[in-house]
Amino acid sequence: MFLPQGGPGRIPPAQAHHMIQEGLDIRETDEYQAGHAPGALHVPPSRLADRADVPGGQDVRSLALICRSGHRSQHAGRLLADRGVEAVDLVRGMPDWAEHQGLPVRDARQVAGTVI
C-alpha cells in the first residue's frame, strides 16, 4: 500500500497489531528500551540507510513501521519504498498504540513498559 508520492500507507493501531510483530520500531534506543510493541524489531533511523540492517535484507518486500509520532516512520517508509519495500506506518505512533485498549507495551526486560 503506497501513497501517491511513494510514501508509506497509514494504518491505525488495531490494524497494525498483527503486522507490527514482524515490523520495525525505528525510534532511538532509549525510546525502544523504555517501551515498544512486543515483537517489533529495533532499527534506529540512522541504521536504515544500510539495507543490511533491515530484517530480511535484500529479500524483504513489506514491513510495518512504528515510531513516536509517525514522522520518522513516514520518512523511513519513503526510504524503503525507494528500495522496493512496501511499508505501512502506524498512525500517531506509539502513544496511540499504548492508549489503544489491549495493545501491550514492553520494556527491554519484556515487562510492562512506558512510551517516552
Instruction: Report the catalytic residues.
Output: 67
Q: Which residues contact 41 (CB under 8 A, 6 or more apart)?
A: 23, 24, 25, 55
**Phi/psi-derived region of residue 40, left when phi > 0, alpha when psi is between -120 and 50, beta in every other case:** beta
Please give the DSSP secondary-structure letter assigned to residue 70: S
**β-bridge mates for residue 106, sequence order:** 36, 112
Query: Identity (one letter) of the amino acid at 6?
Result: G
Q: How many DSSP H helices and E strands does the chain contain? A: 4, 5
SS3 113: coil
